[in-house]
Amino acid sequence: MQRFLTMAGIGVLALTAPLAAQEPATKFFIEGLGGVVVPTFDIADVAKTGGAFGAAIGYRVNPRWVVMGEFDYGMHKDKATGSADINTLHYMAKVGYSLTGPRERGWEAIVNLGVGAVGFDVEGAAQTNTYFAINAGAKISYNFNRSFAFVLSPQGDIAFSDEDELTTTNAWVWPFTAGLRVNF
Protein backbone atom coordinates (compact mmCIF):
# COMPACT_ATOMS: atom_id res chain seq x y z
CA MET A 1 0.00 0.00 0.00
CA GLN A 2 2.84 2.38 0.83
CA ARG A 3 4.38 1.78 -2.61
CA PHE A 4 1.02 2.39 -4.29
CA LEU A 5 0.54 5.73 -2.46
CA THR A 6 4.11 6.77 -3.22
CA MET A 7 3.68 5.97 -6.93
CA ALA A 8 0.29 7.74 -7.02
CA GLY A 9 1.83 10.83 -5.36
CA ILE A 10 4.71 10.88 -7.86
CA GLY A 11 2.20 10.50 -10.70
CA VAL A 12 0.10 13.43 -9.46
CA LEU A 13 3.21 15.61 -9.11
CA ALA A 14 4.40 14.62 -12.56
CA LEU A 15 1.05 15.63 -14.08
CA THR A 16 0.51 18.87 -12.18
CA ALA A 17 4.06 20.28 -12.38
CA PRO A 18 3.84 21.03 -16.14
CA LEU A 19 0.40 22.60 -15.68
CA ALA A 20 1.64 24.83 -12.88
CA ALA A 21 4.63 25.84 -15.00
CA GLN A 22 2.27 27.02 -17.76
CA GLU A 23 0.30 29.36 -15.52
CA PRO A 24 1.60 32.93 -15.78
CA ALA A 25 3.24 34.16 -12.58
CA THR A 26 1.35 37.46 -12.92
CA LYS A 27 -2.29 37.69 -13.96
CA PHE A 28 -2.99 41.45 -14.19
CA PHE A 29 -1.22 44.21 -16.08
CA ILE A 30 -1.56 47.93 -16.76
CA GLU A 31 -0.03 49.89 -19.63
CA GLY A 32 0.78 53.56 -20.13
CA LEU A 33 0.98 54.39 -23.85
CA GLY A 34 1.89 57.28 -26.16
CA GLY A 35 2.22 57.66 -29.92
CA VAL A 36 0.18 58.76 -32.92
CA VAL A 37 -3.35 58.29 -34.25
CA VAL A 38 -3.65 57.98 -38.03
CA PRO A 39 -7.00 58.60 -39.76
CA THR A 40 -7.47 56.72 -43.06
CA PHE A 41 -9.94 56.56 -45.93
CA ASP A 42 -12.76 59.17 -45.85
CA ILE A 43 -11.97 60.56 -42.39
CA ALA A 44 -8.42 61.33 -43.59
CA ASP A 45 -9.96 64.00 -45.85
CA VAL A 46 -11.08 65.84 -42.72
CA ALA A 47 -8.50 65.14 -39.99
CA LYS A 48 -4.69 65.06 -39.92
CA THR A 49 -2.54 62.50 -38.10
CA GLY A 50 -2.05 63.59 -34.51
CA GLY A 51 -0.52 62.69 -31.19
CA ALA A 52 -2.04 60.17 -28.81
CA PHE A 53 -1.82 58.85 -25.30
CA GLY A 54 -3.64 55.99 -23.66
CA ALA A 55 -3.85 53.29 -21.04
CA ALA A 56 -4.79 49.63 -20.96
CA ILE A 57 -5.61 47.08 -18.29
CA GLY A 58 -5.50 43.35 -18.81
CA TYR A 59 -6.17 40.04 -17.14
CA ARG A 60 -4.64 36.73 -18.24
CA VAL A 61 -7.44 34.17 -18.09
CA ASN A 62 -4.90 31.43 -18.82
CA PRO A 63 -1.48 31.30 -20.52
CA ARG A 64 -2.95 32.03 -23.98
CA TRP A 65 -6.12 34.12 -23.49
CA VAL A 66 -6.16 37.72 -22.26
CA VAL A 67 -9.08 40.12 -21.70
CA MET A 68 -8.29 43.83 -21.92
CA GLY A 69 -9.80 47.26 -21.69
CA GLU A 70 -8.09 50.14 -23.49
CA PHE A 71 -8.56 53.88 -23.81
CA ASP A 72 -6.75 56.05 -26.36
CA TYR A 73 -7.06 59.82 -26.73
CA GLY A 74 -6.08 61.24 -30.12
CA MET A 75 -5.43 64.92 -30.86
CA HIS A 76 -5.91 65.92 -34.51
CA LYS A 77 -6.11 69.18 -36.46
CA ASP A 78 -8.59 69.68 -39.29
CA LYS A 79 -7.13 69.26 -42.76
CA ALA A 80 -8.81 72.31 -44.30
CA THR A 81 -7.33 75.00 -42.04
CA GLY A 82 -4.99 73.15 -39.67
CA SER A 83 -6.34 75.17 -36.77
CA ALA A 84 -9.51 73.43 -35.51
CA ASP A 85 -9.05 70.69 -32.93
CA ILE A 86 -10.57 67.26 -33.55
CA ASN A 87 -10.11 64.92 -30.60
CA THR A 88 -10.89 61.22 -30.77
CA LEU A 89 -11.69 59.12 -27.71
CA HIS A 90 -11.34 55.35 -28.18
CA TYR A 91 -12.95 53.00 -25.61
CA MET A 92 -12.39 49.31 -26.37
CA ALA A 93 -13.03 45.97 -24.65
CA LYS A 94 -10.80 43.30 -26.19
CA VAL A 95 -10.05 39.61 -26.20
CA GLY A 96 -6.46 38.69 -27.01
CA TYR A 97 -4.66 35.49 -27.87
CA SER A 98 -0.97 35.13 -27.02
CA LEU A 99 0.87 33.59 -29.97
CA THR A 100 3.95 32.95 -27.83
CA GLY A 101 2.51 32.42 -24.36
CA PRO A 102 3.54 34.67 -21.46
CA ARG A 103 7.24 35.30 -20.95
CA GLU A 104 9.13 36.30 -17.84
CA ARG A 105 11.90 37.54 -20.12
CA GLY A 106 11.93 38.14 -23.87
CA TRP A 107 9.35 38.75 -26.60
CA GLU A 108 5.62 38.09 -26.43
CA ALA A 109 3.04 38.67 -29.19
CA ILE A 110 -0.71 38.98 -28.57
CA VAL A 111 -3.30 39.51 -31.31
CA ASN A 112 -6.61 41.05 -30.28
CA LEU A 113 -10.16 41.79 -31.42
CA GLY A 114 -12.58 44.08 -29.64
CA VAL A 115 -15.69 46.21 -29.58
CA GLY A 116 -16.43 49.58 -28.06
CA ALA A 117 -16.93 53.17 -29.08
CA VAL A 118 -15.05 56.05 -30.66
CA GLY A 119 -16.03 59.62 -29.86
CA PHE A 120 -15.29 62.61 -32.09
CA ASP A 121 -15.03 65.93 -30.28
CA VAL A 122 -14.80 68.67 -32.91
CA GLU A 123 -13.93 72.21 -31.81
CA GLY A 124 -16.98 74.42 -32.15
CA ALA A 125 -19.46 71.52 -32.30
CA ALA A 126 -22.26 71.48 -29.75
CA GLN A 127 -21.53 67.90 -28.61
CA THR A 128 -19.19 64.95 -28.91
CA ASN A 129 -20.47 62.38 -31.40
CA THR A 130 -19.83 58.82 -30.21
CA TYR A 131 -20.27 55.75 -32.40
CA PHE A 132 -20.15 51.96 -32.06
CA ALA A 133 -16.73 50.67 -33.15
CA ILE A 134 -14.78 47.47 -33.72
CA ASN A 135 -11.08 46.92 -33.12
CA ALA A 136 -8.28 44.66 -34.33
CA GLY A 137 -4.66 44.88 -33.37
CA ALA A 138 -1.67 43.45 -31.55
CA LYS A 139 0.41 43.86 -28.41
CA ILE A 140 4.08 43.16 -29.02
CA SER A 141 6.08 43.32 -25.83
CA TYR A 142 9.62 42.80 -24.65
CA ASN A 143 9.63 41.60 -21.04
CA PHE A 144 12.62 42.85 -19.05
CA ASN A 145 11.56 40.68 -16.11
CA ARG A 146 8.29 39.34 -14.67
CA SER A 147 7.18 42.86 -13.61
CA PHE A 148 8.09 45.24 -16.46
CA ALA A 149 7.81 45.18 -20.25
CA PHE A 150 8.15 47.58 -23.17
CA VAL A 151 4.99 47.40 -25.36
CA LEU A 152 4.21 48.28 -28.98
CA SER A 153 0.47 48.49 -29.60
CA PRO A 154 -0.62 48.86 -33.24
CA GLN A 155 -4.43 49.00 -33.29
CA GLY A 156 -7.12 49.65 -35.87
CA ASP A 157 -10.50 51.10 -34.89
CA ILE A 158 -13.46 51.38 -37.24
CA ALA A 159 -16.25 53.66 -36.00
CA PHE A 160 -19.62 53.23 -37.72
CA SER A 161 -20.40 56.93 -37.95
CA ASP A 162 -23.24 59.07 -39.23
CA GLU A 163 -22.44 60.53 -42.64
CA ASP A 164 -24.41 63.69 -41.85
CA GLU A 165 -22.17 64.35 -38.84
CA LEU A 166 -18.71 63.14 -40.01
CA THR A 167 -19.03 62.99 -43.82
CA THR A 168 -18.52 59.19 -43.76
CA THR A 169 -20.35 56.09 -42.53
CA ASN A 170 -17.17 54.38 -41.30
CA ALA A 171 -14.29 56.32 -39.79
CA TRP A 172 -11.05 54.30 -39.74
CA VAL A 173 -8.65 55.58 -37.09
CA TRP A 174 -5.41 53.77 -36.20
CA PRO A 175 -3.74 54.33 -32.81
CA PHE A 176 -0.05 53.32 -33.00
CA THR A 177 1.38 53.58 -29.50
CA ALA A 178 4.28 52.36 -27.38
CA GLY A 179 4.80 52.37 -23.65
CA LEU A 180 5.47 50.49 -20.47
CA ARG A 181 3.56 47.51 -19.06
CA VAL A 182 3.55 46.71 -15.35
CA ASN A 183 2.56 43.13 -14.42
CA PHE A 184 1.25 42.22 -10.98
Tens digit of each residue's pLDDT (9 = 90 or more) over 77-134: 999 999 999 999 999 999 999 999 999 999 999 999 999 999 999 998 889 999 999 9
Contact yes or no for 144/136 (Cβ under 8 A): no
Quick one: CATH architecture of 25-183? Answer: Beta Barrel (2.40)
The domain limits of the chain are: 25-183
Cα–Cα distance, 131 to 148 (Å, whole number): 34
Contact yes or no for 137/151 (Cβ under 8 A): no
Q: Which pTM value belongs to this model?
A: 0.83
Give me the mean pLDDT over the 141-159 stretch. Answer: 97
